[in-house]
Structure 1
Amino acid sequence: MDGKRKRKLSVAIITFNEEKNIGDCIRSVESFADEIIVLDSLSTDKTKSIATSFPKVRFFEAPFPGHVEQKNKAISFCQNDWILSLDADERANDELQKSIQSFLEAETVSADGYKIARLTFHLGRWIRFSGWYPQRRYRLFQKENAEWVGENPHDYIALKEGSRGKVMKGDILHYSFTDFSHQINTINQFSSIVAYTRYAKGERFSLLKTILKPLGKFFEIYIFKFGFLDGIPGLWIALASSFSTFLKYAKMYELDKLNIERPSNVRKDYGKK
């Protein structure tokens, strides 16, 4: 470790078939990471061989029980007190890299966790409105004072009661979708997970919500979150968000009224510890 640095940092990443992303993700953090934990949910592509080609990577494999559970498992493998948690399709931009390096060299720190903005590239441009930016969330945190929580797959890091939080300069660059078809595939997958999770918790189908919630979501994204300022991509995002909301309730109908065990695109190992 550099003699100027006062603390060590682990980076935690979960993966599944991320051969197109994992290399760039690791390269964006290897200059300041003391170790990089990659927890893979049994990929069938080259994710493992790419990840393990980096000297700082410690690679683990485990079935996928859910986003919250898997990310907390990745944290449990980290050996250092401070952790940066990323998805494989995310990168630390130059400003964030400098901010983290300064943080590691600081004599003292006055927070237990740091929120970082995330900037998403989609449909040929960086999306700066539509509720997608700055979307600050805790990503750099002390291991003992934070954990992943939330409703799968919409997870987030929460600091424990009494912990102190601050905002760190810089952005996490998010290359979420390769194109609109990729976004639709993701919406289809994530809406299935939400419906499956909510149904397991006791929620049941509502026709009124199926009609009203998608309409409300469109106006929320396009008007109240200024999606119209993102041009045509902003319109597509609002429409896709509305469609995603509809799908959650439509799939709830299948689970509730048609007695299917789970949507067909929810992995069989989902929910297993």
Structure 2
Amino acid sequence: MFAKRCLVDEIIIVDSGSTDGTQQIAEKYGAKFFVNSEWPGFGKQKQLAQSYTDCDWVLALDADERIDDVLQQEIQTMLIAPPKNAVFSLNELTWVFGRFLKHSGWYYHHVRLYPNSLTQYNDNLVHESVIIPDGVDTKRLKGDILHYSYKDMEHYLVKSASYGRAWADQKQKRGKSASLAQAILHALGCFLKMYVLKRGFWMVSRAF
């Protein structure tokens, strides 16, 4: 869990085995740093991170994500009088090949901010999501999570291969057949749908 220091009472970082000085940087800013190098998947890793905090609210961010000033102000205002029995779905604005895209499926929202005592992430190896209990309201806030996802095509292919393998493993654990080839086709299919069929490439070219 990570956010701008002035927004949160506590920063929890669960590292999966980085070698780039993450721990030293995190501790410099007062973060509580934990290591779990035996990778259990994205969902369970986030469950573990949540278990380390007693704060009332959880804002879950990945290492390649930030929040913009608008969203920060929205969260601060909400916490003055937080609603009961509610979670918050936040916009995610994705950085793709040198530009942020607000079209073609790259701009979406999902639950990232929620009461600690109310829920947690599911067990998914990949494409994890927050469990929304029955009767719980899902609300929205303005502003964006800035997701610096893909620097270039090589970066996209490397990440997609990793996610594809996790996707195949997840299907097999659920008793469904899946191969690495199917995983690669799944990743490429998502890319073609969002970047070509929905004209994401056009939006990038228009940005230059």
TM-score normalised to the size of structure 1?
A: 0.66
For residue 101 of structure 1, what is the amino acid of its counterpart?
Q
For residue 102 of structure 2, what is the amino acid of its counterpart?
R
For residue 85 of structure 1, what is the amino acid of its counterpart?
A
1:79 alignment partner in structure 2:
54
| 1: CA distance, partners of 2:34 / 2:191 | 40
Question: 1:153: how far off?
Answer: 1.3
| 2: CA distance, partners of 1:124 / 1:226 | 16
1:58 alignment partner in structure 2:
32
| Counterpart selection for 1:180 from 150, 153, 168 | 153
Cα displacement string for residues 15-74 of structure 1 (whole angstroms, at most 9, x for unaligned residues): xxxxxxxxxxx5xx211100000111232231111111112x111112321111000110
| 1: CA distance, partners of 2:190 / 2:151 | 24
2:100 match: secondary structure: strand
2:162 match: secondary structure: helix
Residues 229 and 72 from structure 1, CA distance in 2 versus in 1: closer, same or farther, beyond 3 angstroms? same
Cα displacement string for residues 179-201 of structure 1 (whole angstroms, at most 9, x for unaligned residues): 22111110111111111222233
Question: 1:214: how far off?
Answer: 8.0
| Counterpart selection for 1:126 from 93, 100, 105 | 100
| 1: CA distance, partners of 2:201 / 2:99 | 14
Q: Does 1:34 align with 2:34?
A: no
1:268 alignment partner in structure 2:
none
Question: 1:166: how far off?
Answer: 0.4
Give the root-mean-square deviation of aligned CA atoms.
2.6
2:39 match: secondary structure: coil
1:176-255 maps to which residues of 2 (within 5 A)?
176-205=149-178, 217=190, 220-221=193-194, 222-223=196-197, 225=198, 227=200, 229-232=202-205
Question: 1:205: how far off?
Answer: 4.9
TM-score normalised to the size of structure 2?
A: 0.85
1:159 match: secondary structure: coil
Question: 1:130: how far off?
Answer: 2.0
Residues 205 and 120 from structure 1, CA distance in 2 versus in 1: closer, same or farther, beyond 3 angstroms? closer
2:118 alignment partner in structure 1:
145
For residue 120 of structure 1, what is the amino acid of its counterpart?
T
